[in-house]
Amino acid sequence: AQSVTQPDIHITVSEGASLELRCNYSYGATPYLFWYVQSPGQGLQLLLKYFSGDTLVQGIKGFEAEFKRSQSSFNLRKPSVHWSDAAEYFCAVASNYGGATNKLIFGTGTLLAVQP
Amino acid sequence: DAGVIQSPRHEVTEMGQEVTLRCKPISGHNSLFWYRQTMMRGLELLIYFNNNVPIDDSGMPEDRFSAKMPNASFSTLKIQPSEPRDSAVYFCASSDDRGGETQYFGPGTRLLVL
Protein backbone atom coordinates (compact mmCIF):
# COMPACT_ATOMS: atom_id res chain seq x y z
CA ALA A 1 0.00 0.00 0.00
CA GLN A 2 1.10 3.52 -0.64
CA SER A 3 2.44 5.49 2.29
CA VAL A 4 4.34 8.64 3.11
CA THR A 5 6.72 9.14 6.01
CA GLN A 6 7.83 12.48 7.34
CA PRO A 7 10.32 11.55 10.04
CA ASP A 8 10.60 14.99 11.59
CA ILE A 9 7.54 16.06 13.58
CA HIS A 10 8.98 19.43 14.53
CA ILE A 11 11.93 21.47 13.24
CA THR A 12 13.25 24.83 14.39
CA VAL A 13 15.56 26.90 12.23
CA SER A 14 16.91 30.42 12.47
CA GLU A 15 15.73 33.04 10.03
CA GLY A 16 18.09 33.13 7.06
CA ALA A 17 19.27 29.58 7.58
CA SER A 18 18.74 26.84 5.02
CA LEU A 19 15.99 24.29 5.41
CA GLU A 20 15.46 20.70 4.39
CA LEU A 21 12.31 18.75 5.25
CA ARG A 22 12.42 15.04 4.69
CA CYS A 23 9.83 12.90 2.96
CA ASN A 24 9.99 9.22 2.09
CA TYR A 25 7.31 7.40 0.15
CA SER A 26 6.29 3.89 -0.62
CA TYR A 27 4.70 3.36 -4.00
CA GLY A 28 4.97 0.61 -6.58
CA ALA A 29 4.93 2.70 -9.70
CA THR A 30 6.22 6.12 -10.63
CA PRO A 31 4.70 8.35 -7.99
CA TYR A 32 3.04 11.69 -8.24
CA LEU A 33 4.46 13.65 -5.31
CA PHE A 34 3.37 16.88 -3.69
CA TRP A 35 4.34 19.29 -0.96
CA TYR A 36 1.60 21.34 0.69
CA VAL A 37 1.93 24.03 3.35
CA GLN A 38 -0.64 24.85 6.00
CA SER A 39 -0.44 28.11 7.92
CA PRO A 40 -2.24 28.26 11.27
CA GLY A 41 -5.99 28.27 10.82
CA GLN A 42 -5.70 28.00 7.06
CA GLY A 43 -6.25 25.38 4.40
CA LEU A 44 -3.53 23.60 2.52
CA GLN A 45 -1.68 25.40 -0.22
CA LEU A 46 0.25 23.57 -2.92
CA LEU A 47 3.96 24.42 -2.88
CA LEU A 48 5.14 22.17 -5.69
CA LYS A 49 4.59 18.84 -7.38
CA TYR A 50 6.50 16.18 -9.26
CA PHE A 51 4.99 14.04 -11.98
CA SER A 52 7.88 13.23 -14.32
CA GLY A 53 10.90 14.71 -16.03
CA ASP A 54 13.43 16.87 -14.25
CA THR A 55 13.87 15.49 -10.75
CA LEU A 56 14.48 18.94 -9.27
CA VAL A 57 11.25 20.89 -9.17
CA GLN A 58 10.76 24.51 -8.30
CA GLY A 59 7.78 25.75 -6.37
CA ILE A 60 6.32 28.90 -4.96
CA LYS A 61 7.87 31.00 -2.20
CA GLY A 62 11.40 29.95 -3.13
CA PHE A 63 10.95 26.27 -2.30
CA GLU A 64 12.33 23.38 -4.31
CA ALA A 65 12.24 19.61 -3.96
CA GLU A 66 14.29 16.80 -5.41
CA PHE A 67 12.90 13.41 -6.36
CA LYS A 68 15.34 10.59 -5.73
CA ARG A 69 13.97 7.28 -6.87
CA SER A 70 16.85 5.26 -5.44
CA GLN A 71 16.13 6.64 -1.98
CA SER A 72 12.34 6.85 -2.35
CA SER A 73 12.61 10.41 -1.19
CA PHE A 74 11.20 13.80 -2.09
CA ASN A 75 12.83 16.27 0.27
CA LEU A 76 11.80 19.91 0.38
CA ARG A 77 14.45 22.60 0.54
CA LYS A 78 14.80 26.34 0.84
CA PRO A 79 18.15 28.14 0.87
CA SER A 80 17.11 30.94 3.22
CA VAL A 81 14.12 30.71 5.52
CA HIS A 82 11.91 33.70 6.29
CA TRP A 83 9.83 34.13 9.43
CA SER A 84 6.69 33.85 7.33
CA ASP A 85 7.65 30.27 6.42
CA ALA A 86 6.65 29.11 9.89
CA ALA A 87 3.85 26.62 9.20
CA GLU A 88 3.13 22.94 8.91
CA TYR A 89 4.37 21.14 5.81
CA PHE A 90 2.78 18.03 4.35
CA CYS A 91 4.23 15.64 1.81
CA ALA A 92 1.75 13.58 -0.20
CA VAL A 93 1.75 10.87 -2.82
CA ALA A 94 -1.06 10.38 -5.30
CA SER A 95 -2.61 6.97 -5.55
CA ASN A 96 -4.22 6.49 -8.93
CA TYR A 97 -7.78 5.22 -8.97
CA GLY A 98 -7.18 3.81 -12.40
CA GLY A 99 -8.28 6.96 -14.13
CA ALA A 100 -7.17 10.52 -14.20
CA THR A 101 -8.13 11.37 -10.65
CA ASN A 102 -5.94 10.55 -7.75
CA LYS A 103 -6.31 9.93 -4.06
CA LEU A 104 -3.75 11.79 -1.96
CA ILE A 105 -1.98 9.94 0.82
CA PHE A 106 -0.55 12.47 3.26
CA GLY A 107 2.34 12.25 5.64
CA THR A 108 1.87 13.28 9.25
CA GLY A 109 3.36 16.69 8.65
CA THR A 110 6.40 18.61 9.87
CA LEU A 111 5.85 21.70 11.97
CA LEU A 112 8.41 24.37 11.18
CA ALA A 113 9.28 27.07 13.69
CA VAL A 114 11.51 29.99 12.69
CA GLN A 115 13.64 31.76 15.27
CA PRO A 116 14.51 35.43 14.78
CA ASP B 1 -11.04 32.43 -9.34
CA ALA B 2 -12.50 32.40 -5.83
CA GLY B 3 -11.01 29.03 -4.99
CA VAL B 4 -12.81 26.34 -3.05
CA ILE B 5 -15.41 27.86 -0.75
CA GLN B 6 -16.49 26.23 2.48
CA SER B 7 -19.14 27.22 4.96
CA PRO B 8 -19.42 27.68 7.79
CA ARG B 9 -15.83 28.40 8.78
CA HIS B 10 -16.56 27.55 12.40
CA GLU B 11 -19.32 25.48 13.93
CA VAL B 12 -20.01 24.79 17.59
CA THR B 13 -22.82 22.41 18.37
CA GLU B 14 -24.02 20.08 21.06
CA MET B 15 -23.78 16.35 20.98
CA GLY B 16 -26.72 14.79 19.17
CA GLN B 17 -27.34 17.71 16.88
CA GLU B 18 -27.19 17.51 13.10
CA VAL B 19 -24.29 19.28 11.44
CA THR B 20 -24.14 20.19 7.75
CA LEU B 21 -20.92 21.36 6.13
CA ARG B 22 -20.98 22.91 2.69
CA CYS B 23 -18.52 23.14 -0.15
CA LYS B 24 -18.41 24.89 -3.49
CA PRO B 25 -15.60 23.56 -5.68
CA ILE B 26 -13.62 25.56 -8.20
CA SER B 27 -15.69 26.12 -11.31
CA GLY B 28 -14.88 23.53 -13.97
CA HIS B 29 -13.41 21.02 -11.57
CA ASN B 30 -15.10 17.64 -11.74
CA SER B 31 -13.60 15.90 -8.71
CA LEU B 32 -14.37 16.78 -5.12
CA PHE B 33 -12.83 15.42 -1.95
CA TRP B 34 -13.80 15.68 1.72
CA TYR B 35 -11.01 15.35 4.29
CA ARG B 36 -10.92 15.42 8.06
CA GLN B 37 -7.92 16.64 10.04
CA THR B 38 -7.31 15.80 13.68
CA MET B 39 -4.25 15.81 15.87
CA MET B 40 -4.50 12.09 16.44
CA ARG B 41 -5.12 10.88 12.90
CA GLY B 42 -3.77 13.67 10.71
CA LEU B 43 -5.41 14.21 7.32
CA GLU B 44 -7.87 11.53 6.30
CA LEU B 45 -9.83 11.24 3.08
CA LEU B 46 -13.50 10.69 3.89
CA ILE B 47 -15.11 10.53 0.46
CA TYR B 48 -14.38 11.41 -3.13
CA PHE B 49 -16.79 12.36 -5.93
CA ASN B 50 -16.12 12.36 -9.64
CA ASN B 51 -18.66 14.03 -11.94
CA ASN B 52 -21.04 14.26 -8.93
CA VAL B 53 -20.93 10.50 -8.34
CA PRO B 54 -19.43 9.11 -5.11
CA ILE B 55 -16.47 6.94 -6.11
CA ASP B 56 -14.81 6.02 -2.84
CA ASP B 57 -16.47 6.44 0.55
CA SER B 58 -14.29 3.95 2.36
CA GLY B 59 -13.01 6.68 4.64
CA MET B 60 -16.43 7.66 5.98
CA PRO B 61 -16.22 6.74 9.65
CA GLU B 62 -19.71 5.36 10.15
CA ASP B 63 -23.34 5.69 9.18
CA ARG B 64 -23.67 8.94 11.04
CA PHE B 65 -21.73 10.54 8.21
CA SER B 66 -23.22 11.15 4.78
CA ALA B 67 -22.18 13.22 1.79
CA LYS B 68 -24.00 14.39 -1.29
CA MET B 69 -23.14 16.23 -4.44
CA PRO B 70 -26.40 17.22 -6.13
CA ASN B 71 -24.65 19.22 -8.84
CA ALA B 72 -21.20 20.17 -10.04
CA SER B 73 -21.01 23.29 -7.91
CA PHE B 74 -22.15 22.11 -4.51
CA SER B 75 -21.53 19.36 -1.99
CA THR B 76 -22.55 18.72 1.60
CA LEU B 77 -21.15 16.60 4.38
CA LYS B 78 -23.68 15.80 7.08
CA ILE B 79 -23.16 14.35 10.52
CA GLN B 80 -26.28 13.12 12.30
CA PRO B 81 -26.17 12.74 15.23
CA SER B 82 -22.90 14.49 16.03
CA GLU B 83 -20.57 13.29 18.78
CA PRO B 84 -17.67 14.99 20.56
CA ARG B 85 -15.18 12.73 18.77
CA ASP B 86 -16.30 14.30 15.47
CA SER B 87 -14.60 17.54 16.51
CA ALA B 88 -12.03 18.27 13.82
CA VAL B 89 -11.28 20.50 10.87
CA TYR B 90 -13.07 19.35 7.74
CA PHE B 91 -11.55 20.28 4.39
CA CYS B 92 -13.03 20.18 0.96
CA ALA B 93 -10.76 19.98 -2.09
CA SER B 94 -11.39 19.91 -5.82
CA SER B 95 -9.44 18.96 -8.89
CA ASP B 96 -9.77 18.83 -12.62
CA ASP B 97 -9.27 15.45 -14.26
CA ARG B 98 -7.66 17.05 -17.24
CA GLY B 99 -4.80 18.14 -15.02
CA GLY B 100 -6.16 15.75 -12.53
CA GLU B 101 -3.45 15.27 -10.03
CA THR B 102 -3.49 18.59 -8.21
CA GLN B 103 -6.07 19.13 -5.53
CA TYR B 104 -6.97 22.62 -4.37
CA PHE B 105 -8.12 22.93 -0.79
CA GLY B 106 -10.69 25.15 0.82
CA PRO B 107 -10.03 26.99 4.10
CA GLY B 108 -11.77 24.31 6.15
CA THR B 109 -14.60 24.17 8.65
CA ARG B 110 -13.54 23.93 12.28
CA LEU B 111 -16.15 21.82 14.07
CA LEU B 112 -16.49 21.57 17.82
CA VAL B 113 -19.06 19.18 19.26
CA LEU B 114 -19.69 19.74 22.96
Q: What is the pLDDT of residue A102?
A: 66
Q: Are B47 and B54 in contact (CB under 8 A)?
A: yes
User: What are the chain B neighbours of A51 within 8 Å (beta carbons)?
Assistant: 101
Strand pairing category for B19-24 and B74-79: antiparallel
Task: Kindly report, residue by residue over A87-116, the tens digit of the pLDDT.
Answer: 999 999 887 655 545 678 899 999 999 999
Q: Among B4, B42, B101, whose Cβ lies nearest the Cβ of A102?
A: B101
pLDDT(A3) > 90: no
Q: What is the pLDDT of residue B1?
A: 64
Contact B48 A90 (CB under 8 A): no
Q: Does B108 touch chain A (CB under 8 A)?
A: yes
User: What are the chain A neighbours of B93 within 8 Å (beta carbons)?
Assistant: 44
CA distances from A77 to A15, A19, A45, A57 (A): 14, 5, 16, 10
Sign of CA dihedral A100, A61, A106, A73: positive
Q: What is the pLDDT of residue B4?
A: 95
**Cβ within 8 Å of residue A73, ≥6 positions away:** A22, A23, A24, A25, A66, A67
Q: Does A109 touch chain B (CB under 8 A)?
A: yes
Average pLDDT of the segment spanning A64-91: 96
Contact B4 A101 (CB under 8 A): no
Share the mean pLDDT of chain B. 92
Q: How many contacts (CB atoms, under 8 Å) link A and B?
A: 53
Which segment of A11-20, A46-55, A68-77 scores lowest on mean pLDDT? A46-55
Q: Among B50, B100, B102, whose Cβ lies nearest the Cβ of A46?
A: B102
Q: Does B54 touch chain A (CB under 8 A)?
A: no
Q: Are A60 and A48 in contact (CB under 8 A)?
A: yes
Task: Kindly report, residue by residue over A21-37, the tens digit of the pLDDT.
Answer: 999 998 777 788 999 99
Structure confidence at residue B98 as a pLDDT band (50, 70, 90): low
Q: What is the pLDDT of residue A89?
A: 97
Task: Kindly report, residue by residue over B69-84, the tens digit of the pLDDT.
Answer: 999 999 999 999 999 9
Q: Does B111 touch chain A (CB under 8 A)?
A: no
Q: Among A34, A43, A103, whose Cβ lies nearest the Cβ of B56?
A: A103
**Cβ within 8 Å of residue A76, ≥6 positions away:** A19, A20, A21, A23, A35, A47, A48, A63, A64, A65, A89, A91
Q: What is the pLDDT of residue A6?
A: 96
Share the mean pLDDT of chain A. 90
**Cα–Cα distance, B87 to B10 (Å, whole number):** 11
Average pLDDT of the segment spanning A29-52: 89
Q: Does A115 touch chain B (CB under 8 A)?
A: no
Task: Kindly report, residue by residue over B17-41, the tens digit of the pLDDT.
Answer: 999 999 999 999 989 999 999 988 8
Contact A106 B42 (CB under 8 A): yes
Tell me which chain B residue has its CA closest to the CA of residue A99.
Answer: B97
Classified as helix, coil or strand, A44 is strand
Average pLDDT of the segment spanning A53-58: 92
Structure confidence at residue B101 as a pLDDT band (50, 70, 90): low
Q: What is the pLDDT of residue A27?
A: 78
Q: What is the pLDDT of residue A97?
A: 53
